[in-house]
Structures are given as structure tokens and as C-alpha cells.
Structure 1
Amino acid sequence: MADIVACPACGQRNRIGAAATGKPVCGKCRAALPWIADAGDDTFAAVAEKSPMPVLVDMWAPWCGPCRTVGPALEQVARELAGRVKLVKVDVDQAPGLARRFAVQAVPTLLLLDGGQVKARQSGAAPAAVLRRWVEQSLPTPSRP
């Protein structure tokens, strides 16, 4: 299944699949697009672990007030860091296997995965600026040629 995302640079509507092999860019202006997807127990490997870019995983629950507060902040971070990070949202009530696997004891729990491996972890809600700083500090340093 694919989502339709408007390019923040030119407004062109683009189709982005949850699991893809490259980084999403606008078909018209080639600007990086924010990549936000949902995953569950059965789709997490394809959507998050095999992602070609680092993945910010939001382990959340619909009944959790702080989760509903941090959700828009995480989407803002994903838009600001388009082309550098993919946001994958996991409803722990619908994906109990992932909640057990990552030992989620409180929601929201945020994980930063790179190459399918957990590189950083944080629990609790925070403002978008704090979350962005945490993500940027946790992202792998790009290698230089």
C-alpha cells in the first residue's frame, strides 16, 4: 500500500510505498520527501529493518495521551529531516510481538534503527525541537569518499 505525499518544495503529489528500496524524492522537482509509514508484527521487517535509511520507530498506543501529543512532533521531525530518516509508527496494542521484542515497558518509546539495529532509545514525550536534536545526535555520521 502506498501513501500520497505532497512535496514540501513544489506541492506535487507523490506516491510513497511503506517498504521501498530507495529514498523517496519528488517526481517533479527531485526534493527529498518525508517518509512516514505504519508497521506491525507482520510488516516490520520489510518496512523498518530493510529500510535504506535510518528509521525512527514510534512505539505508541491509541489510549496514551503523551503518544497523541508526541505523534505530530515526530511527524514534524520526519518532515524536517526528509531524506535522512524514515518515521515508522507501531501501535503496540496491534503489534504485541514487537512490543515484547523491543522490551517496551512504557509508551511512547522511540527507537532509532540503522541497518535494522537499535542505535538509540528514548521513552516519553518531548517537544519537536528536543526530539529533532536527539535524532540528529543519534544518526550515523555519513562516510566521506
Structure 2
Amino acid sequence: MPAVDSPLQVDATLFDEIIQSSRVPVLVDFWAEWCGPCRAAAPEVERTAREMAGSAIVLKVDTDKEQQLAARYQVRGIPNFAVFSAGKLVKQQAGVVGHDVMETWLRSAALAASA
């Protein structure tokens, strides 16, 4: 997959495909249009996608449209962030976080995968 410098809005099928095939860590932002904290986090998510392009992939999952996918990862509060590496969930946290935290998660996942 080529370097992507913005978050990709995905459905369950594309989500599964990217998670399983990605050679770089993947940050997933579970969100909804009506969620104020999700909108507050959006610029940080976009910055992370831009600054980590080529080193990570950032996905956005609309929990209203993809309820089964949100349920699969027990998303009960949004925003909810999940980091995947080599097809496996390695970190998950609800609540707004900044770009620096997201970048740290992704860099840690990349280091763990290369160890």
C-alpha cells in the first residue's frame, strides 16, 4: 500500500484487509459524526496521518455505520483509538489524546514488530 498522508474512512471489509496486510502499524480512530470529543480529536488524528505517512496508516471507523466492527473491539466510548501491528491489536484506549501520544503508540508498535 502506498504512503497515505490522511486518515482513510473504512468499512469492515476494507478495515480487515488493511489490518491483515499492512507492513506498518495501523492507528484506528473509532468515532461518530455527533461526537464532540471526536471532532476535537480529528485535527490530531489528521496530523498523525500526515506526519507518520509511510511509517503508519491511520483509519477512521464511523461507529454508527460500522456497529458490528465497533462491537468486535468492544468500543463503548468514543473516541476510541486502537493500534494494530502485524494484524494484531496491541493498544486500545478511549478518550481524546494528542498527536504526540498517537505517534508514541505507533512508534512503539513499530519497534516491537521489528524486535
Instruction: Name the TM-score, length of structure 1 as normaliser.
Output: 0.70
Q: How does 1:59-70 map to 2 (within 5 A)?
A: 59-70=30-41
Separation in structure 1 between the aligned mates of residue 63 and residue 74 of structure 2, nearest angstrom = 11
Contact 1:49/1:113 (8 A) holds in 2: no
Equivalence for 2:48:
77
Deviation per residue, 1:17-49 (Å, 9 max, x gap): xxxxx343xxxxxxxx52531111232212333
Equivalence for 1:100:
71
Instruction: Name the TM-score, length of structure 2 as normaliser.
Output: 0.86
What SS does structure 2 have at the residue aligned with 1:52?
A: coil
Cα offset, 1:115, TM superposition:
1.7
Return 5+ residue gaps in structure 2 as ranges.
none
Counterpart amino acid of residue 78 in structure 1: A
Q: How does 1:95-134 map to 2 (within 5 A)?
A: 95-134=66-105
CA RMSD of aligned residues (A): 2.0
Moved over 6 A (4+): none
Separation in structure 1 between the aligned mates of residue 22 and residue 28 of structure 2, nearest angstrom = 12
Return 5+ residue gaps in structure 1 as ranges.
1-21, 25-32
Counterpart amino acid of residue 74 in structure 1: V
Counterpart amino acid of residue 101 in structure 1: R
Which of the two has greater helix per residue? 2
State which structure, 1 or 2, has the greater radius of gyration over its C-alpha atoms: 1
What SS does structure 2 have at the residue aligned with 1:125?
A: coil
Instruction: Evaluate the alpha carbon distance shift between residue 37 and residue 55 of structure 1 in structure 2; reply closer, same or farther with a 3 A threshold.
Output: same
